[in-house]
Amino acid sequence: MKSIELAAVQERFADIVWANEPISSGDLVKVCEKELSWKKPTTYTVLRKLCEKGLLQNVDGIVSSRISKEEFYSAKSEQIIEDSYEGSLPAFIAAFTSHKKLSKKEVDEIQKMIDAFKKEG
């Protein structure tokens, strides 16, 4: 999946769509008015931009995603590691854990992922 760059407000808008999809464009306007204090033109402008980027679609007034939330955030995470840590996951983990102590549960979850990866490889 190609990387899709979103501004913070666009990402918040996408989160609203993911949480409510499929949603009529009229209902989306109401949700954005309540959650973001947006007027109708703002909602439609951001919707149009995210449709142009290929993240969302508006078919016959029904808005839904073309890329799942999980796919989007997975690609975003990969891009951060690529850009900031030269693609090194161990370097990212070292940086992350240097300021945040992992709980036993988190360590166990990571170990399960590593063990599963070893079995597949």
For residues 115 and 75, give the distance between their C-alpha atoms in angstroms, rounded to a whole number: 23
Return the pLDDT at 121: 66
pLDDT above 90 coverage of the chain, percent? 72
Predicted pLDDT of residue 68: 96
Select the more confidently predicted residue: 99 or 19.
19
Residue range(s) occupied by CATH 1.10.10.10 in the chain: 8-69
Q: Where are the alpha helices (DSSP H) in 1-121?
A: 8-20, 25-36, 40-52, 69-85, 89-97, 104-120
Asked if the 8-69 domain carries CATH number 1.10.3720.10, the reply is no
pLDDT at residue 16 in the model: 98
Say which residue the tokens 């979103």 belong to.
6
Quick check: pTM over 0.85? no
pLDDT at residue 32, as a whole number = 98
pLDDT, tens digit, 9 for 90 and up, residues 60-91: 999 999 999 999 999 999 989 999 999 998 99
